[in-house]
Amino acid sequence: MLTLVNETNHAADLVRLTLDGDTAVGVVIVKSTYELDRGRAWLSARQRLVLRRPKMEDGITLEPETVLGKMAADVLVLGAAAGDGRSGISLVAVHIDEWSIQALVFGDRFWRRSFLHWRATEPKSFSQIPVTWATAFGGVARFRETPIPHPSNPEGKGYVVDLDAHGEGTALPNIEDPSDRLEQPGQLVCPLSFAPLPTSSALRVDAARDDSKPGGVSKAIYNVAHPRHRIAELHGGERCEVRGWVGMPVDVFELPRERLVVEVHAESQRFEFSPQIDTLCLLPSKRQLVVTRRSTFTYHYVRGATRSVRLRARR
């Protein structure tokens, strides 16, 4: 039996998985919720619990966090782009040291045909637009009344196959990649959003393909951010800047540093591990940052033997 003793103010959970008869894997997930205020990140008095099952938040499905590990750190934002109520375009961005991601945000637009040419209507002015997969490129096209879901994002808008039957009046996506703009109906661009990818998205599956691994996929199958929204490593102390979001129009803060230790006691042996950051999730309207750290280790499984895992601050 493997038990977790949490001696910190962070939320934590322990997952166990038996690989074969006498080898098992333990995973300690540490989830830290911070309040963002005046350029500082403070550990919140109300910590969000580690998810063991899917949960809906602001219309977005959050997957269970009790996975073995990820290939890189996911960078997510659950929020809406801020507009001024007068113009129909804005920009949202996240910068972490030299790494950055951004997206153009448009008010509602539609395709109109003019003789032999197509043009998009002027974007409507807006005060805020959710940055989700529903507002990104994708959706379900139709060909001879047969539905054709977009393989990377069936939740989105703007995907059209039969221009003669369905081009006129088709809605364009609200969220676009500045380097991969939609210029005409029928064009294929890569969907972009800061929210977690849909489980069945081809973007997620393709990024994880690895024939050298069992099952043909790598640990990247557990990553939920867009492949371009992943960072190889994060350690804490990085400079973070966010722009254009409802609740956080312009904010700069330092990614929190935490000196946490996972201490494993097995028989007469003791091992120490340092949980590594594998997910950053910003919630601009709540002015919160959620950082998930993870330690994965193997141990010799003996039925009836008691082992303990201790999560503590490093002295």
Give pLDDT tens digits for 146-204: 999 999 999 999 999 999 888 899 999 999 999 999 999 999 999 999 999 988 899 99
Kindly report which listed range (105-114, 238-247, 252-261, 300-309) carries the lowest average pLDDT score.
300-309
**Token output for 246:** 């409802």
Instruction: Verify that 135 and 68 share a domain, yes or no.
Output: no
Domain-embedded: residue 312 = yes
Copy the structure tokens of residue 72: 């890189």
Domain range for 6? 1-30+40-73+256-277+285-292+302-315
Residues 111 and 182 in one domain: yes
> Is pLDDT of 42 > 80?
yes
Q: Is residue 238 part of a domain?
A: no
Is 113 in the same domain as 67?
Answer: no
| Total number of domains in the chain | 2
Residues 60, 174, 148, 218, CA torsion sign = negative
- If asked whether residues 180 and 264 sit together in one domain, one would say no
Q: Does residue 147 sit in the same domain as residue 218?
A: yes
Whole-angstrom distance, CA of residue 229 vs CA of residue 105: 17
The number of helices, as runs of H, and strands, as runs of E, in the chain is: 2, 26
Distance, in Å, from the CA atom of 242 to the CA atom of 94, rounded to the nearest integer, reads 5
In the structure encoding, which two tokens stand for residue 63, read together?
């997957």
Tens of pLDDT along 230-258? Answer: 999 999 999 999 999 999 999 999 999 99
Mean pLDDT for 107-118 is: 92
Please indicate, yes or no, whether residues 127 and 214 belong to a single structural domain of this protein.
yes
- Which of the listed residues 177, 199, 223 is the one where a domain comes to its end? 223
Residue 86 resides in a domain: no
Report the chain's mean pLDDT, rounded to a whole number: 94
Rounded CA gap, 300 and 26, in Å? Answer: 11
Same domain, 136 and 200: yes
CB atoms within 10 A of CB 283: 21
- Flag whether 108 is in a domain: yes
Query: Looking at residue 65, what is its pLDDT?
Result: 97
The fraction of the chain above a pLDDT of 70, given in percent, is 98
Instruction: Let me know if residue 116 belongs to a domain.
Output: yes
Backbone φ, ψ for residue 200 (5° rounding): -90, 5
**What pLDDT, on a 0 to 100 scale, did the predictor assign at position 304?**
66
